[in-house]
Amino acid sequence: MLDFQFAIQVKDFHEVNPLGTVALCSLWTPPSYIFDRLKEIAPKFLEKDSPLAVIGKLYGGGLKIMLRNLHHNPQLDTVILCGKDFAGAGELLLKFFQGKYERTGKKQAYIFDDGKKEELETIAISGEKSIYQMDDLLLPDMFITKPKILELKSDRSGTSAHRIVDFFQTYKRPLTTPEARPSAIPLPRPQISIFPAERFGGSVIAESIREAWSEILFRLDRFGVPTLLRKGKERRELNNFKTTILKPDKYSLEELTSPPYNLKETYILSYQEEIMEKKNLYEGIPYTYGNRIRSHFGADLLEKAALYLAADLDGRHGFIDLWDNSTDMGADDAPCLVSLYFRKIEEKIHLTATFRSHNATHAWPLNCLGLVKLMEYVVQKINLNKDKQDPYDYIIGTLTVMSLSLTFNLDDLVEVSSIIEARKNTPYRMADDPHGYFQISLDFNTHEIVVQHLAPTSELLEEYRGSTASELSKKLYNNMALSDLGHAMYLGSQLERAWYCLENGLEFIQDKTKLPKT
């Protein structure tokens, strides 16, 4: 009889009986919590002769590892999903064995542990308006026996442990199990190229959450630094990364749930609901953001911030700290969101949120959509407050997200590769520069190029003069007259054209794409 063995070793698990034929998958819930609950209510199912082989978790890129471990252990006839499924990994596991996948026809470059490189076709596991992509080295028909996937996920009444016990009380082991173990399926890593860049202090400004997400994934793919984190987790990382979203509340669920983004609407709505909830409703989950913000510290800090801002015209104390040093320092599960700072500026309520650790592939867009709900609550509370000190009806302003450690897991890269490719193939579109715009003309009397710097509202800010494009470029750079790279490239090309016209006595028309003929 086969005993349980890992094809790919994982760290966070509890082994019960290596000769067991059932595995518990705790999803996002810590395996230790499921183990302790079973030990409390039914310790006999944790003894050496138990049908339970192992308790392990599953989320994100872990699906590819779990499938390989299940393939390597054909004696496991049942997998019980028994924890809180924040990201839908359990649903994807179920759909995989139901055969709900399709070949994409797309190739992804991979590298294996022995250094071998190969292009593999990706398969897409389909869900409700969501697609999870992975390599095609392991498909359902390659399993000697397909395990039964049984859903006993945690619910808000906290009854999943008792349901697991009910299952074991009627469970009968299979009369026969496979005698031979299939060959281990290797787990390749997506091959990516890393360009040199400054690791600290990157910045993105975007109109929407969708555009910002595309941009930070592109930056991580291109510039993320290989980093080995705790427990041997390999990531691509950028530090102290700032993302400013100009219109965070102007998002479209239809766009976010359609290709290439493929978020799931039910997860978005559930996340937005949970971040507003004062109680921690899930068994085994050590914290929720809503609980930390609105109950954990003995007060509803979100409401306090709103009331404070309603009473103070120019207050800078609308700061909420989620970090609890008495429990979080060194804890395995501690909040990634650590602070919120609300500020009233020009009849708008702005929010700056700080994350100590930020997963760009799964968590980032949901976090932003949840933060919008916090902003909506504060704006509404201020506008409805009878003691408000000014007559304005405030609206949502910018959302700035500070990611002290912005990362993605290499195993997750395939899932978001279509977003990155779409970003790479986006037609060039020069954004409006908040520093203003420029009008270029020629003064043949003084033999100079004249550059007028105008504010976005068209007031003249400054006039620059010079006889060469290089001379003017230095002046503009020293004054930090531009803030956008695309704008700088455009202006440089226009200055070179202006210099050519000046030297050859030709008329210069700004924005004309071709040089005039001499």
Residues 6 or more apart whose Cβ sits within 8 Å of residue 13: 31, 54, 55, 56, 57
- Asked whether residue 33 falls in the same domain as residue 134, the answer is yes
- Asked whether residue 151 falls in the same domain as residue 239, the answer is no
Instruction: Name the burial class of residue 80, with classes exposed (0-12), middle (13-18) and buried (19+) by CB atoms within 10 angstroms of its CB.
Output: buried
- Asked whether residue 213 falls in the same domain as residue 171, the answer is no
Residue 518 lies in a domain: no
Residue 111 lies in a domain: no
Structural domain containing residue 456:
437-504
**Residue 518: per-residue pLDDT:** 44
Residue 191 lies in a domain: no
Residue 313 lies in a domain: yes
Number of H-type helices and E-type strands within the chain: 14, 20
List pLDDT tens digits, range 375-431.
999 999 999 988 777 788 999 999 999 999 999 988 788 888 889 989 988 876 667
Residue 490 is inside which H or E element, if any? helix 485-504
Residue that finishes a domain, picked among 360, 390, 424 = 424
Residue 350 lies in a domain: yes
Is the whole-model pTM more than 0.75? Answer: yes
- Asked whether residue 335 falls in the same domain as residue 211, the answer is yes
List pLDDT tens digits, range 220-252.
999 999 898 876 678 899 999 999 999 999 999
Residue that finishes a domain, picked among 185, 217, 235 = 185
Structure tokens at 39: 């030990």
Residue 113 lies in a domain: no
CATH number, residue 246 = 3.30.572.10
Q: Greatest CA span in the chain, whole angstroms?
A: 100
**Residue 485: per-residue pLDDT:** 85
Residue 284 lies in a domain: yes
- Asked whether residue 417 falls in the same domain as residue 443, the answer is no
Residue in 415, 69, 476, 419 with CA at minimum distance from that of residue 211: 419
- Asked whether residue 328 falls in the same domain as residue 463, the answer is no
Specify whether the CB–CB gap between 394 and 309 falls below 8 A: no
Q: What are phi and psi of 489, to 5 degrees?
A: -65, -40
Angle between helices 363-384 and 301-311 (to 10 degrees): 50
- Asked whether residue 140 falls in the same domain as residue 90, the answer is yes
Residues 6 or more apart whose Cβ sits within 8 Å of residue 268: 253, 256, 257, 366, 369
Structure tokens at 121: 């076709």
- Asked whether residue 25 falls in the same domain as residue 140, the answer is yes
- Asked whether residue 214 falls in the same domain as residue 325, the answer is yes
pLDDT of residue 142 exceeding 90, the answer is: yes
pLDDT of residue 257 exceeding 50, the answer is: yes
Residue that finishes a domain, picked among 424, 459, 485 = 424
List pLDDT tens digits, range 33-68.
899 999 999 999 999 899 999 999 987 668 999 999
- Asked whether residue 381 falls in the same domain as residue 455, the answer is no
- Asked whether residue 442 falls in the same domain as residue 324, the answer is no
Domain count, the chain: 3
- The Cα 374–Cα 377 span in angstroms is 5
- Asked whether residue 247 falls in the same domain as residue 131, the answer is no
